[in-house]
Chains A and B, each alone.
Chain A
Amino acid sequence: MRIRGLVVLGALAVLSAGCSSIEPWVKPYDRENLADPIMAFSRAPISQDFLDHVFESREGSRGATGGGGGGCGCN
């Protein structure tokens, strides 16, 4: 119980720190490269959604890809 209490207190401390402001180590004026469109994880959502659907239909794994679909179309 004592260990569990310490874990809960630790988690709350981290969350408390998380909800307060932190000095950003990459300044806004240093984010030019990150703002470049080629740095987007998915440059074309319409294409990525289609490919995610293909992979989900052909693979046993699913999830954690950011997709949103429904339906099957895969028999």
Chain B
Amino acid sequence: MKSPRTRLFRYVITCLAVAGIAMQSHAGVLPEDRADLLYFRYDGGGVVINGPSVLLRKSIGEHVSVSANHYIDMVSSASIDVETSASPYEDERTQSSLSVDFLHGKSMYSLGYVNSDESDYTAKTMFANISHDMFGDLTTISFGYKKGENEVFRNLKDAATGIVANDPNFAETMETQSFNAAVSQILTKNLVLAGQYEVITDEGFLRSPYRSIRYLIDPLTQALAPEQYPNTRTSNAASIRAKYYLPYRAAIDTMYRFYTDTWGVIGHTGELGYVHPTNNEKWIFEGRVRYYTQTAADFYADLFPRAGYANFMARDKELATYSAITAGIGATYEFKIQRFPWLTKGQLNLRYDFMTVEYEDFRDATYSIGSFGTPPANPLQPGTEPLYKLEANIIQFFISAYF
């Protein structure tokens, strides 16, 4: 017989255990059966990434839904980091995932696995989630856990043959874990609110095996050296979002996220979106603006004053101080095909986003170092180069079928 204390503990744990995500659906209803085929292209900062992604979701009986995704990134990179310290490269990343949702009463239990492979990085991630509808289905709460095991390699290019292969003397590992809790709340018949909190902790090899810092030998001369990172990082992120149904058939949504981590990065993300279907229910138009800003990591510098300046030194522009704006528009055309009565609805979707990033302490070192080993005709003094700015075009075209 269990003691009252044990039963009380289990009761509390049960109540807590159902607090979790389900930001996008009710725990008490299986997701819709659907198939999506996406083509995407990201082009910006010397990097072009394109590829397909296919997503299938199918229910099995009334209590189980299975989802599978296969995704390919074909990368062609001559980014600013590559330009100043290496030669352009091409790579391919494939990611496959499988997840299963079990519906039991008003609770949904989800399990999933993601495998990602590229020539110099492999990632295996498992995740579990539990969500529960409560208070007359006005509230959905959930908990989630994710664990990833990653292997990091370094590619070397044979100067004579041009063949790229893993460096046999370099192999590192990285482990990541994530805990999240979320709640979505129907506030009125037109307004839904959702909040999420996630803590992520990483341990292992966390830097890029390719990127370099630069430091001064004298005021006019600089040199490159490998980055030095801590081997742990823990981050906390909390977000809140709201979606409101307007008096005519349209919706606006907004999101804010606060982020902080043990490396000293503090980030703020804000987003505003608008969805507008036409009266004939054939078209849905969408517009979205996202603003992002962050402070630099404690051990980041664009140019270190000397060699061995600190134990940890980074020159990753994603750890610099910067702000970014992404604006996007999208259009969806809905159709039905009489010959395929099993097809509830089909959609053709086109979406375009433009991203611009302005760095406050990351300079365009090609003005002093040069590009791919070729020095500039009139090199600037290190530390006086113009600040770097990134612009990217992001295009997505996808077909969705509901059945």
Contacts and interface: CB of A to CB of B under 8 A. Distances in A.
A63 B355 contact: no
Given A23-B136, A39-B245, A70 B114 contact: yes
B123 A47 contact: no
B319 interface: yes
A16 B180 CA distance: 22
Contacts of A34: 186, 189-190, 192, 245
Contacts of B243: 39, 41
Interface string A30-53: 111110101111111111011100
B253 A64 contact: no
A64 B196 contact: yes
A47 to B, nearest CB: 5
Contacts of B136: 21-24, 28
- Among A12, A44, A63, A68, the one with the most B-chain Cβ atoms within 10 Å of its Cβ is A63
Nearest to A69: B114
Nearest to B75: A73
A31 B190 CA distance: 8
Contact of A63 (B137, B188, B259): B259
Interface in B132-162: 134-138, 146, 148, 150
Contacts of B211: 75
B198 A64 contact: yes
Given A22-B135, A44-B36, A66 B21 contact: yes
B194 interface: yes
A7 B349 CA distance: 51
A6 interface: no
Given A41-B24, A63-B259, A72 B245 contact: no
Given A15-B15, A68-B146, A62 B121 contact: no
Nearest to A15: B15
B398 A44 contact: yes
Contact of B148 (A22, A49, A70): A70
Nearest to A25: B138
A26 interface: yes
Contacts, number: 213
B396 A47 contact: yes
A68 B97 contact: yes
A21 B237 CA distance: 31
Interface in B356-403: 357, 390, 392, 394, 396, 398, 400
Given A22-B135, A38-B249, A72-B118, A63 B235 contact: yes
- Among A26, A47, A61, the one with the most B-chain Cβ atoms within 10 Å of its Cβ is A61
Contacts of A47: 38, 349, 351, 396, 398
A25 B24 CA distance: 21
B200 interface: yes
Contacts of A45: 24, 36, 55
Contacts of A57: 318
A26 B185 CA distance: 11
B324 A65 contact: no
A46 B267 CA distance: 25
19 contacts: A21-B136, A26-B189, A28-B136, A43-B284, A43-B332, A46-B36, A46-B398, A50-B396, A58-B357, A59-B324, A60-B267, A60-B294, A60-B297, A63-B180, A63-B198, A66-B196, A68-B127, A72-B118, A75-B77
Interface of B: 8, 11-12, 14-16, 21, 23-25, 36, 38, 40, 42, 49, 53, 55, 69, 71, 73, 75, 77, 79, 81-82, 91, 93, 95, 97, 99, 112, 114-118, 121-125, 127, 134-138, 146, 148, 150, 178, 180, 182, 186-190, 192, 194, 196-200, 208, 210-211, 235-239, 241, 243, 245, 249-251, 253, 257, 259, 261, 265, 267, 269, 275, 277, 284, 286, 290, 292, 294, 297, 318-319, 324, 326, 332, 349, 351, 353, 355, 357, 390, 392, 394, 396, 398, 400
Given A46-B69, A62-B259, A63-B180, 8 more contacts: A15-B15, A19-B15, A38-B249, A39-B243, A42-B24, A49-B53, A59-B294, A70-B95
